[in-house]
């Protein structure tokens, strides 16, 4: 994939580093308004696929309160309310944490991790940022009478339903298959297809698509965490549906029809929100100044910033 320069890292007046990547922005009518790099090539959306995975579950009978549905779409920080939500999903369907097959892990939220380590707690599946999704997957299996032992098998009815739903919303066929960090099957699509999917979710007026959008936009702290940029972005833009993903992926859809998806080529997370905000502004969307740059620190104080490249601000 031929990526292009999308972000610059300035330390004072010195350009210290750069990030390359690809970006797609769709306007209110769904037309391509901005394309940088190769957004039509296949990539792994990683956790940005989660809202579409959750949509497949709703279509197959899953019924959760809105905050728990947001948790099913989440890469959560591992805060206490996240972990409690995972237990609530499992318990409501007669399951325990033993059923979770996501990778044992530590919380990814800074404050949650510090508290976790201070308490001397070990890694466990419930703290893994994908545990909400896995709990919802198991719940969907219970609702349908499907096996819970092999719910991560790509040939399992649940995973086949997720695959079909992703292809439908993206408007294209799966271009690659792998295994995600949590152990779930991973399906690759283009950034353009990812933007189309988020545009569909955010613009839905009814049905399970609208339920996903409502849950995420009303409960953004359940999708990310108290101090996460994805949470701040949804709080700042009413009705927005946003989801970050590993390896520098980010996607957002707006109820007015705009959508953006990006991939940072080196997999860094520090530039992705900066790039998304710049692309939103190119579309004429008012996006939060707080996320327009990321501070570069010197001795704990801001001495520079990660900024969008000229291609995104000209």
SS (H, E, C) 248-288: CEEEEECCCCCEEEEEECCCCCCCHHHHHHHHHHHCCCCCC
Q: To the nearest whole number, what is the mean pLDDT of the chain?
A: 97
User: Residues 56-75: pLDDT tens digits?
Assistant: 999 999 999 999 999 999 99
pLDDT of 314 above 80: no
Q: What is the pLDDT of residues 113-137, one digit of tens each?
A: 999 999 999 999 999 999 999 999 9
- CA dist., res. 210 & res. 195, Å (int): 16
Could you tell me the pTM of the whole model?
A: 0.97
Q: Is the pLDDT of residue 1 over 70?
A: no
Q: Kindly tell me if the per-residue pLDDT of 84 is higher than 70.
A: yes
Give the tens place of pLDDT for each residue, 19-49: 999 999 999 999 999 999 999 999 999 999 9
Dump pLDDT digits (tens) for 184-198.
999 999 999 999 999
- Positive or negative, the CA dihedral 23, 168, 69, 159 is negative
Inter-residue contact 217 to 234 (CB < 8 Å): yes
Question: What integer pLDDT is reported at residue 57 of this predicted model?
Answer: 98
pLDDT digits (tens, 9 = 90+) for 222-265: 999 999 999 999 999 999 999 999 999 999 999 999 999 999 99
DSSP state for residue 165 in the 8-state scheme: H
CATH number of 4-313: 3.40.710
Contact 1, 37 (CB under 8 A): yes
Do the beta carbons of residue 162 and residue 151 sit within 8 Å?
no
- 243-265 burial code (b ≥16 CB/10 A, e <16): bbbbbbbbbbbbbbbbbbbbbbb
Indicate whether 2 pLDDT > 90: no
Mean pLDDT of 126-155: 98
Please check whether residue 38 is in contact with residue 58, taking contact to mean a CB–CB distance below 8 angstroms. no
């Amino acid at each position: 994939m031929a990526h292009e320069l999308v972000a610059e890292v300035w330390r004072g007046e010195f350009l210290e580093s750069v990030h390359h990547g690809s970006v797609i922005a769709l306007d209110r009518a769904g037309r391509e308004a901005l394309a940088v790099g190769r957004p039509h090539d296949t990539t792994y959306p990683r956790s940005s696929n989660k809202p579409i995975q959750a949509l497949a579950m709703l279509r197959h009978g899953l019924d959760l309160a809105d905050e728990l549905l947001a948790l099913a779409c989440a890469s959560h920080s591992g805060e206490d309310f996240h972990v409690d939500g995972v237990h609530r999903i499992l318990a409501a369907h007669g399951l325990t944490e033993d059923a979770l097959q996501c990778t044992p892990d530590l919380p990814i939220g800074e404050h949650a991790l510090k508290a976790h380590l201070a308490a001397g707690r070990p890694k466990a599946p419930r703290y893994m940022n994908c545990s909400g999704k896995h709990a919802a997957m198991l719940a969907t299996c219970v609702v349908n009478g499907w096996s819970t032992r092999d719910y991560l098998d790509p040939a399992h009815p649940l995973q086949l339903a997720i695959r079909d739903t992703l292809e439908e919303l993206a408007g294209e066929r799966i271009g690659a298959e792998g295994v995600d960090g949590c152990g779930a099957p991973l399906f690759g699509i283009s950034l353009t297809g990812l933007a189309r999917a988020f545009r569909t979710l955010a613009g839905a007026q009814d049905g399970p698509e609208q339920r996903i959008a409502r849950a995420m936009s009303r409960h953004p702290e359940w999708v990310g965490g108290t101090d996460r940029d994805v949470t701040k972005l949804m709080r700042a833009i009413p009705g927005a549906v946003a989801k970050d993903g590993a390896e520098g992926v980010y996607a957002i859809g707006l109820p007015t029809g705009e959508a953006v998806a990006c991939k940072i080529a080196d997999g860094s997370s520090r530039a992705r929100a900066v790039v998304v905000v710049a692309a939103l502004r190119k579309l004429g969307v008012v996006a939060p100044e707080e996320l327009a740059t990321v501070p570069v620190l010197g001795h704990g104080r801001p001495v520079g910033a990660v900024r969008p490249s000229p291609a995104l601000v000209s």
